[in-house]
Amino acid sequence: MPDWKPIVGLAFNQQEFDRYCKGLNWSAWRPSFITVHNTAVPSLAQRPNGFSMQHIRNLEGYYRGLGWRAGPHLFVDDRQIWVFTPLTTTGRHSPGWNNVSIGVEMLGNYDIEAFNSGRGLAVRRNAVAAVASIGRRLGLDPATIRLHKEDPATTHDCPGHNVRKDEFIGDVRAKVAAFYDGEHAPADPHPDD
**C-alpha to C-alpha distance for 86 and 70, rounded to whole angstroms:** 9
In the bound state with Zn ion, the residue whose beta carbon lies nearer, of 136 and 148, is: 148
Pairing of strands 81-83, 10-12: antiparallel
Minimum CB distance to Zn ion smaller for 5 or for 93: 93
Number of H helices, E strands in the chain: 4, 6
* Least distance between Zn ion and beta carbon 158 (Å): 3
Least distance (Å) between residue 87 CB and Zn ion: 17
**Residue 148 is a binding residue for Zn ion (CB under 5 A):** yes
Instruction: Report DSSP letters for 62-74, one per residue.
Output: HHHHTT-S---SE
The answer to whether 149 contacts Zn ion (rule: CB under 5 A) is: no
Minimum distance of Zn ion from residue 46's CB (angstroms): 17
Nearer to Zn ion, 50 or 159 (CB): 159
Query: Is the separation of the CB atoms in 25 and 102 below 8 Å?
Result: no
- 13, 40, 73, 15: which is closest to 163 by C-alpha? 40
Q: Which stretch of DSSP H or E encloses residue 146?
A: strand 146-147
Q: Which of 134, 145, 158, 172 binds Zn ion (CB under 5 A)?
A: 158
Stretch in the footprint of Zn ion (CB under 5 A) among 26-34, 69-77, 131-139, 145-153: 145-153
Residue 148 pairs with which residues in a beta bridge? none
Taking CB under 5 A as the rule, does residue 37 contact Zn ion? yes
* Shortest spacing between CB 148 and Zn ion, in angstroms: 3
Binding site for Zn ion (CB under 5 A): 37, 148, 158
